[in-house]
């Protein structure tokens, strides 16, 4: 990871550490977890957009939206990518593995929630058009994501249909899995 990207992650880490941010994110995570618990077991994750104002001034200029995701315990979300956004994701509660597809193989990025710990143990950076998937262990995994696309414009693509080149496309504000 280059120094510029590391500086962005450090800035986001400081924003998460500001007074009042963690309790509000915990409230959002509780709502998202409750929504996921009410959904069928085949739904592997749920999310909610978080207003950027929560984090105060000083966010990197490129950050246009933030999200809290809850990934269901013992699940693998399957591949997805964002053609219009660079994603920076932090393990907020629990631990898991955010995998990226590199050179035809899945590269593991084990992440855990440890404020004040080494930044690359908690954060991963996923460039646009990079296939990625989350793998949660025995407990639900809560992550916070920062995107360079506005909430209404964030596109998710997933493999679709019998054609290996086909993708299903939607925006996150269209609803949950």
Q: Assign 3-class secondary structure to 26-37.
A: HHHHHHHHHHHH
pLDDT of amino acid 163: 56
Does residue 30 surpass a pLDDT of 50? yes
User: Is residue 15 helix, strand or coil?
Assistant: helix
**Cα(143)–Cα(93) distance, rounded to whole angstroms?**
7
- Decide: helix, strand or coil at residue 18: coil
CB 36 within 8 A of CB 28: no
How does pLDDT run across 91-137, given as a tens digit for each residue?
999 999 999 999 999 999 999 998 778 999 999 999 999 999 999 99
Indicate the class that CATH gives domain 3-174.
mainly beta
φ, ψ for residue 13, nearest 5 deg: -60, -40
Q: With contact defined as beta carbons under 8 Å apart, do 87 and 129 qualify?
A: no
* Confidence (pTM): 0.91
Confidence of residue 160 (pLDDT cuts 50, 70, 90): confident
pLDDT > 50? residue 15: yes
Average pLDDT score over residue span 159-174: 70
Cα separation, 59 vs 57, in Å, equals 6
pLDDT (tens digit, 9 = 90+) per residue, 36-71? 999 988 899 999 999 999 999 999 999 999 999 999
Contact between 104 and 113 under an 8 Å Cβ cutoff? The reply is no
| pLDDT(161) > 70 | no
Which pLDDT band holds residue 167 (cuts at 50, 70, 90)? Answer: confident
Quick check: 122 and 133 in contact, CB under 8 A?
no
pLDDT of 162 > 90? The answer is no
Whole-number average pLDDT of the chain? 92
Percent of the chain with pLDDT over 90: 84
Residues 6 or more apart from 98 whose CB is under 8 A from it? Answer: 89, 109, 111, 124, 126, 132, 133, 134, 135, 143
Domain ranges of the chain: 3-174
- Predicted confidence at residue 177, as pLDDT, reads 41
């Amino acid at each position: 990871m280059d120094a510029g990207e590391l500086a962005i992650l450090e800035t986001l880490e400081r924003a998460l550490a500001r007074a009042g941010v963690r309790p509000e994110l915990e409230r959002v995570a509780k709502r998202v977890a409750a929504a996921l618990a009410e959904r069928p077991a085949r739904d592997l994750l749920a999310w909610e957009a978080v207003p950027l104002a929560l984090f105060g001034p000083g966010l990197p200029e490129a950050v246009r939206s933030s999200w809290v995701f809850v990934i269901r315990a013992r699940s693998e979300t399957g591949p997805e990518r964002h053609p219009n956004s660079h994603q920076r994701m932090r393990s907020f509660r629990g631990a898991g593995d955010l995998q990226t597809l590199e050179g035809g193989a899945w590269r593991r990025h084990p992440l855990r929630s440890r404020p004040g710990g080494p930044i690359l143990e908690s954060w991963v950076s996923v460039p646009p058009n990079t296939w990625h998937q989350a793998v949660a262990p025995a407990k639900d995994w809560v992550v916070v994501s920062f995107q360079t696309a506005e909430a209404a414009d964030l596109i998710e693509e997933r493999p679709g249909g019998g054609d290996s080149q086909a993708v299903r496309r939607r925006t996150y504000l269209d609803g949950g899995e």
